[in-house]
Structure 1
Amino acid sequence: MRTEPKPTRLDRIFARLDREPQRPVLDVPRMTRHRVVLFGATLAFYLTIVLAVVTTSWLVRLDWQAMLFRPYQQWPEIHAFLDYWVVLGQRGPTAVMVAAWLGWRCWRQHTLRPLLAFGAALLLLNVTVGAVKYGLGRSGPHYATEIGSNEMWHWFQAGSDIFPSGHTANAVVTWGILAYLAATPGARRWLSALSAVLSLSVGLTTVYLGTHWLSDVLLGWAAGLLVLLALPWLEPTIATAEAWLFTRRDRLRARLRAGRGGALPMPEPVLLTPARTPAAEEEPAPLREIVPPAAARAPRTSALLAPGPHTTRSERTPVTPAGSRRPPHPDRMARGTAAPAARPLTGG
């Protein structure tokens, strides 16, 4: 009796992804006029902050005043708590937490878009913020050398990659992507407010700890917001990547099924015409069917069977056995011999 192979964990995952979604699919945000205006305003704010720091304006003096105030010495009782709170802006721990949540949503909604959108946002953030950090080369408060200077263009010094604040920008993108992927407008509003509070608090925590200037936090907040506002332009690329991944998944599933001995499509027989010789010119040679090698291979015979061709019972010629099939017995007479005379019965 042939039994079906037991499905593996990968088969169950594929079967889960192939089912119809039980929850509504997320609405893909579009680049509306309101979003374009907000993107332009945020970009103008971004360029204004950069220009104000490069020209050593009043914003640089404000940076120095906040740094010389030394908030970590003014309120030392909250220092231990803020050391842990600033972790909400570190890329590694926050990316793992948010990716785990979005992975569960991908499982429930049968789509890869949440994880792909999160990956695209992090990639865009690293490229844009990293390019500005290393391009401007601003030193942090702990590495400042001259009071009142903007501490720019220190490319080959330690701590010269803090403008804009990576903690703040990462907090905006990591927690803001939850609002971007929200399924309802109400959830989107609440998550937007929560991500704004988290990102600003993380940025001000870096100022309290003395690792960033105040202008670093403002520019990091604007950099993260620009990434979130630009995500609708990447939605076609995200959809293309999702379709490509599902196609690769289908090919992998078919390959795994074939590797477990599944039914493979047999190649069609090819008809070949034999080569014509002078002797074969008079009568056309019949076409010969070339069968696949797997079907043309003769079945292997067991070592217990006698050599030679074997036929089925219906193909064998009936043969009448000679003699009797009954086993020999001392009181049993063979056929064709006369029975001995009956002995008289004795007794009273």
Structure 2
Amino acid sequence: MRTERNLTRLDRVFARLDREPERPAHLDVPKMSRHRIALFAATLAFYLAIVWAVLITSWLVRLDWQVMFFRPYQQWPEIHAFVDYYVVLGQRGPTAVMVAAWLGWRSWRQHTLRPLIALGVSLLLLNVTVGAAKIGMGRLGPHYATTIGSNEMWLGGDIFPSGHTANAVVTWGILAYLASTPRARRWLSALSAVVSLGVGMSTVYLGTHWLSDVLLGWAAGLLILLALPWFEPLISRAESWILGLRDRLYARRGRTEPARVPAGTPVAATPPASEREDAPALEPVPASRSRAPAYLAPGPHTARSERTPVTPAGSRRPPHADRHPRNTAPAARHLSGG
């Protein structure tokens, strides 16, 4: 009796993936619309306003010091352990690995490299822009502040803007940017906003960042997400170049590797080397190594009494001219009288 194997859930998932089209037609690439340009300009103005407010040591700096003296980690110590784990959602290494794994699965399913390339471009922009701002302004954090009430700028620090907050905005916001439907984009946008807001406030709770650092980190991450449509032509060219390079490597490998013969295919007999046209010329064997040809009895086979004696080549016995074959009468000799 024949029994069929029950398909597991993983088998059904892979069977569904095999039926996926080459590239879904409903994937739309965001464009730099007027609405997005207006949001970019407003976010850029907010970014510059935060920097200016810190430079002139305005009310925002005084608020930073008040929050620092409040010491939230001492006010609510019971959530300290949870916040220590939650703030990892803003660290670049773990979050980049998690999001890259998800986008890599989407790239394999949709047969496109755009999600992974878009993630790489956004992280590159994040490292360049936020890193340059950190080094350029050199602000010290709350734990290393030297003068009460000062803005702590250009003192060799690297916390302005907040890298955790900006990374949370970009890393989780790229999921909303690459969403395939408007509904998924709205839900993922709200989720990324909540996660990045929580990461920013976690750094303030732990005392590693000023409140103004978090505000500037939110603006820095949002600027990168809003500017990504300007880099879509670059992403498309990079994808085409990578796929073209892959095709050239496959074509080159196909020319150099021998063709695979399916199992069960009859293979033509190969002619001897001496009969092939491209066979190399055989070198003559030296005479010292040559052997005498083997003696073979002539055919058809005859009785021993009917065979003609043949002296093998290379025999040491000298030939006898007066010998005659067996069963034959010797020739008559001339008798000389005397």
Q: 1:161 aligns with which of 158, 161, 185?
A: 158
Q: 1:327 and 1:93 mapped to 2: Cα distance?
A: 94
Aligned to 1:243: 240
Amino acid at match of 2:224: V
Q: Is the Cα–Cα contact under 8 Å of residues 168 and 217 in structure 1 kept in the other structure?
A: yes
Aligned to 1:138: 139
Amino acid at match of 1:218: L
Q: 2:201 aligns with which of 181, 184, 204?
A: 204
Unaligned residue ranges in structure 2 (runs of 5+) = 1-16, 261-275, 286-296, 306-338
1:185 aligns with 2:159: no
- Correspondence list, 1:26-105, <5 A: 26-105=27-106
Displacement of 1:255 after TM fit?
1.8
Q: 2:303 and 2:60 mapped to 1: Cα distance?
A: 123
Aligned to 1:325: 300
Measured against aligned partners, the alpha-carbon deviations of 1:91-116 in whole angstroms (never above 9, x if no partner) come to: 00000000011011110111110000
Q: Secondary structure at the match of 1:50?
A: helix
1:21 aligns with 2:18: no
Q: 1:207 and 1:125 mapped to 2: Cα distance?
A: 21
Q: Secondary structure at the match of 1:59?
A: helix
Q: 1:147 and 1:327 mapped to 2: Cα distance?
A: 127
Q: 1:32 and 1:248 mapped to 2: Cα distance?
A: 33
Q: 2:21 and 2:145 mapped to 1: Cα distance?
A: 59
Measured against aligned partners, the alpha-carbon deviations of 1:8-38 in whole angstroms (never above 9, x if no partner) come to: xxxxxxxx99x95164452110000000000
Displacement of 1:261 after TM fit?
2.4
Q: Is the Cα–Cα contact under 8 Å of residues 107 and 114 in structure 2 kept in the other structure?
A: yes
Q: 2:152 and 2:133 mapped to 1: Cα distance?
A: 15
Displacement of 1:153 after TM fit?
1.0
Aligned to 1:309: none
Q: 2:299 and 2:144 mapped to 1: Cα distance?
A: 115
Measured against aligned partners, the alpha-carbon deviations of 1:75-133 in whole angstroms (never above 9, x if no partner) come to: 11110111010000000000000001101111011111000000000001111111111
Aligned to 1:298: 278
Distance 1:261 1:172, change over 3 A: same
Q: Identity across aligned pairs (percent)? A: 70
Amino acid at match of 1:201: G
Q: Secondary structure at the match of 1:152?
A: coil
Number of equivalences: 265
Amino acid at match of 2:192: S
Q: 1:132 and 1:167 mapped to 2: Cα distance?
A: 14
Aligned to 2:122: 121
* Superposition CA RMSD, Å: 2.8
Displacement of 1:257 after TM fit?
1.7
Distance 1:233 1:326, change over 3 A: same
Displacement of 1:326 after TM fit?
5.2
Q: Is the Cα–Cα contact under 8 Å of residues 203 and 217 in structure 1 kept in the other structure?
A: yes
Measured against aligned partners, the alpha-carbon deviations of 1:180-234 in whole angstroms (never above 9, x if no partner) come to: 0000000000000000000010000000000000000000000000000000000
Q: Is the Cα–Cα contact under 8 Å of residues 23 and 112 in structure 2 kept in the other structure?
A: no
Q: Secondary structure at the match of 2:150?
A: coil
Measured against aligned partners, the alpha-carbon deviations of 1:146-180 in whole angstroms (never above 9, x if no partner) come to: 1111101113xxxx000000000000000000000
Q: Is the Cα–Cα contact under 8 Å of residues 25 and 109 in structure 1 kept in the other structure?
A: no
Measured against aligned partners, the alpha-carbon deviations of 1:41-77 in whole angstroms (never above 9, x if no partner) come to: 1011111100000000000011001000000001111
Amino acid at match of 2:39: L
TM-score by length of 1: 0.71
- Shifted more, 176-185 versus 125-134: the winner is 125-134
Aligned to 1:107: 108
Q: 1:218 and 1:193 mapped to 2: Cα distance?
A: 18
Measured against aligned partners, the alpha-carbon deviations of 1:274-304 in whole angstroms (never above 9, x if no partner) come to: xxxxxxxxxxxxxxxxxxxxxx97314789x
Q: 1:324 and 1:153 mapped to 2: Cα distance?
A: 111
Q: 1:201 and 1:102 mapped to 2: Cα distance?
A: 23
Q: 1:327 and 1:123 mapped to 2: Cα distance?
A: 96
Q: 1:104 and 1:219 mapped to 2: Cα distance?
A: 33
Q: 1:110 and 1:187 mapped to 2: Cα distance?
A: 20
Q: 1:64 and 1:262 mapped to 2: Cα distance?
A: 73
Q: 1:260 and 1:135 mapped to 2: Cα distance?
A: 54
Q: Secondary structure at the match of 1:62?
A: helix
1:221 aligns with 2:201: no
Structure having the higher Rg: 2
